[in-house]
A and B are shown apart, each in its own frame.
Chain A
Amino acid sequence: MIIGEQKPFDEIWEMVKDHKQLLVFGCNTCVAVCHQGGNKEAEILASLLRMRATQEEIDIDIINGGIERQCEHPFFESAKDLLDKSEAVLSLACGIGVQFVAEKYMNTPVYPALNTTFLGDVKADGLYTEKCQACGDCVLGVTGGVCPVSRCCKRIFNGPCGGSSNGKCEISKDLDCAWQLVVDRLEALGKMDDYEKLAPVKDWSKDRAGGPRSFKLEDF
C-alpha cells in the first residue's frame, strides 16, 4: 500500500497559518494504516494546529473531517458540505488524494500534510518497507519474488554488484542486498540455473520515464 509520513509540524504550520478558516481532512485507507493521515490523525493534527494558533495569537477557525478514500468520487458525497464551505483544505491523503481534492475544488487551496514516500508492505506493526516501484513490467517471476527495481539501490537486473557485503547493501548495513535475497530464494526453489540467465534490457518507457501513465478499461 501507499506509505507516507507527516511533514514536520512547523512546515505544515507555515503552509496554512495565513488562512482564516481551514479544514483538516483525513483519508482513512492507506495512510491510516501507517498512522500518518487517517481521520484520527486529522483530528489530532487539527488540535495541535489550534494550540499553535492560540499561542501565536492568530485567529483561525480549524475544523477536522475525513472520508474513507480521497482518490475516488463516491466517497466525497458525505463531505460535500464541509468542503464547499472551506476556505482552505489541509489534506492528509497521499499525493493522489491531495490532487484529487484540488481537481474537484478548483478555487480552494489544498495543502499536503504528508510526504508520500513509497509503495510498501506492513512488515510489522509500525514497520513499513518499500517493495514496489510500479515499473510497469514485473519480473518477480524470474527473481524468486524479490524485486530488483525497488529493493536494489542500483536497480541492477543481473546482480549482485561488487559492493554486496554479508548480505547487506553497500549504502547501509541496515539494508538487505536485494540480490543476496534473490540468490537465497533461487537456491531454496532449486532454481540456481536461472541465475546465469542474462536479464534483457529493461523497457523503461512503461515506467515513469515514459510519462504519466493511465489505464482505461474499454468495457466501461
Chain B
Amino acid sequence: MEIKTNSKLEKVLKNGHMAVTSECGPPRSSDSAGIIKKGHLIKDHVDCINITDNQTSVTRLCSLAACIHLKNEGLEPALQMVCRDRNRIALQSDILGAASFGINSILCLSGDHQSFGDHPSSQNVFDLDSMQLIQTARYMRDEGKFLGGDEIKEPPNLFVGAAANPFADPFHIRVPRLAKKIAAGAEFIQTQCVYNLDKFELWMKGVVERGLHEKVFILPGITPMRSVGMAKYMARAVPGMDVPKELIDRLSGVPKDKQAEEGITIAVEAIERLKECTGVKGFHIMAIEWEEKVPEIVERSGLYPRPDVG
C-alpha cells in the first residue's frame, strides 16, 4: 500500500500492524506543561496522540497549539478539528498551520453543540460539516488547492481521519454513513468508545459485507471505566453511548476500591476480543484524565512494544 504522508499512524497501518492511538485533552490554561507531561506518559505505547479540540464545547488551550508543543517534544500528535468554532477560511488556515509544523494526521469532526459547554450563549459556526471537512483536507492535499480553487504553494500533507459512532441512532444508516465518509476521503476511522461488543461486531459485519474494511482503517475506541458511577453516568447522560447492563452489574459486583482495576480488565478483554474481529485494524484508547493507565492497557493487550516503522 502506497504511503502518502509522514504520519507514523499511516506507516504502522499500511505495514500491516495493529495500530494504537490515544487521546489527551489540553488544559484550561495557558500553561502547556500538563499536556506535555501527558504526552510523555504514553509516547512509547501509542503510534500517535490525538489532541481534542475544545471537547464538549469547553474552552481549552487549542488543539493546534498543543499539537505543536508535542511535536516540539519529538512526539507524534494528531490534530482534532471540529466544525463548530471555525469557518472554512479558519479551518483551511489551521490545516496549513498544522502542516507547517510537521503535524501529520487530522481527525475531522462535527463537534459537540455549544450548549454542553461553558459558553452556551456563543454563536456556532458549522460553515462546513465533518463530511465536507474530510473532503476539504483531502482536496488540499491531493489537488493542492484551496476550496475556492486557488493553488496552494506547498500543499499540506496530512493523513485524514474521521469518527464513527456505531451506537448512535438510527442504527441502519451507520454503515451507509461510514461508506459516505470513505467516499468523502476518510483514510482512518476512530470510533466512539465500545462497550456493547455485540452491537459493534454487528456493525462491523455490515461494514465487511460492503467491503468497506478494505477501504479504510477502523480503530474502535476503548475507554476504561473508573467506577460504576462513571458507567452509570455514561449510560444515562452521554448521547450516542451504549453501556450494557451486564457491564454496570459487573462493576457493581466489585468493591469500590477494586472497580478501577476491573474497568481496566474489561477494557483489555474488549481489545482481546476485537483483535479477532475482521476489519479491526487497531485501537483508539481514550483514557481522558487517566492517561497513566494507557501503558498498562497496551501492555496487557499484547500490543507492546509498538512497531518501529522508521
Any A–B CB pair closer than 8 Å: yes
Q: Are B180 and A158 in contact (CB under 8 A)?
A: yes
Which applies to chain A's interface (DSSP): helix, strand, loop or mixed? loop
Is A48 an interface residue, CB under 8 A from the partner?
Answer: no
Q: Considering only CB atoms, which chain B residue lies closest to A197 in the complex?
A: B180
Given the known inter-chain contacts A165-B169, A201-B132, please indicate yes or no for A195 contacting B110, CB distance below 8 A: no
Question: A101: shortest Cβ distance to chain B, in Å?
Answer: 29
| 11 pairs, A vs B, C-beta closer than 8 Å | A154-B83, A158-B184, A162-B192, A162-B239, A163-B113, A163-B240, A164-B168, A165-B169, A165-B239, A192-B176, A204-B127
The docked-state distance in angstroms from the alpha carbon of A91 to that of B126 is: 35
User: Is the Cβ of B110 less than 8 Å from the Cβ of A196?
Assistant: no
Q: Does B165 contact A (CB under 8 A)?
A: yes
Q: How many residues of B contact A (CB 8 A)?
A: 36
Q: Is B105 an interface residue (CB 8 A)?
A: no
CB <8 Å contact, B88 and A183: no
Q: Are B169 and A158 in contact (CB under 8 A)?
A: no
A142 to B131, CA, bound (A): 17
Evaluate contact between B132 and A162: CB separation under 8 angstroms.
no
* Chain A residue contacts of B136, Cβ below 8 A: 201
C-alpha gap A190/B84 in the complex (Å):
32
A158 adjacent to B176 (CB under 8 Å): no
Report B-chain residues with C-beta under 8 Å of the C-beta of A155: 126, 129
| Complex CA–CA separation, A157 to B163 (angstroms) | 16
The total of interchain contacts (Cβ-Cβ below 8 angstroms) comes to 95
B70-119 contacts to A, CB under 8 A, are 83-84, 88, 110-113, 115-116
**With A163-B239, A198-B180 as given contacts, are A180 and B170 in contact (CB-CB < 8 Å)?**
yes
Residue in A154, A183, A192 whose Cβ sees the most chain B Cβ within 10 Å: A154
> Which residues of the partner chain B approach A198 to less than 8 Å between Cβ atoms?
131, 135, 180, 183-184
Binary interface encoding of chain A residues 187-216 relative to chain B, with 1 for a CB under 8 A from any of its CBs, else 0: 000001001101111101000000000000
What are the interface flags for B16-43 relative to A under an 8 Å C-beta threshold, 1 for contact and 0 otherwise?
A: 0000000000000000000000000000
Minimal beta-carbon separation of B208 from chain A (angstroms): 18
Determine whether A171 belongs to the interface, using a CB cutoff of 8 Å to chain B.
Answer: yes
Q: Write the residues of chain B forming the contact surface with A, with a CB cutoff of 8 angstroms.
A: 83-84, 88, 110-113, 115-116, 124, 126-132, 135-136, 147, 163-165, 168-170, 173, 176-177, 179-180, 183-184, 192, 239-240
Contacts of A192 in B (CB 8 A): 176
Selected from B115, B132, B168, B176, the residue in CB contact (under 8 A) with A157 is: B132
Known contacts A154-B129, A165-B169; decide if A170 and B113 are in contact (CB<8 Å). Answer: yes
Q: Is there an interface contact between A180 and B112, defined as CB atoms closer than 8 Å?
A: no
**A47 to B151 CA separation, bound complex (whole angstroms):** 66
Q: A162-B163, A162-B192, A196-B176 are in contact. Are A154 and B132 (CB under 8 A)?
A: no
Instruction: Establish whether residues B131 and A158, one from each chain, have CB atoms under 8 Å apart when the complex forms.
Output: yes
Which chain B residues lie closer than 8 Å to A177 at the CB level?
A: 169
| A163 and B131 contact, Cβ closer than 8 Å, known pairs A155-B126, A195-B176, A196-B179 | no
- Is A161 part of the binding interface, using a Cβ–Cβ cutoff of 8 Å? yes
Q: Tell me the complex Cα distance, A180–B169, Å.
A: 8
Query: Do the beta carbons of B147 and A183 come within 8 Å of each other?
Result: no
How far does the alpha carbon of A164 sit from the alpha carbon of B124 in the complex, in Å?
Answer: 18
CB within 8 Å of B: which A145-170 residues: 153-167, 170
Residues of B contacting A163 with CB < 8 Å?
112-113, 168, 239-240
B169 and A167 contacting across the interface, CB-CB below 8 Å = yes
Q: Are A183 and B110 in contact (CB under 8 A)?
A: no
* Interchain nearest-CB distance for B130 vs A (Å): 8
Please state if A164 and B169 are interface contacts (CB–CB under 8 Å). Answer: yes
Verify B113–A201 contact, CB threshold 8 A. Answer: no
Do A164 and B170 have beta carbons less than 8 Å apart?
A: yes
Contacts of B192 in A (CB 8 A): 162
Which among A163, A166, A183, A201 has the greatest number of chain B C-beta atoms within 10 A? A163
> Are B168 and A165 in contact, with the CB atoms below 8 A?
yes
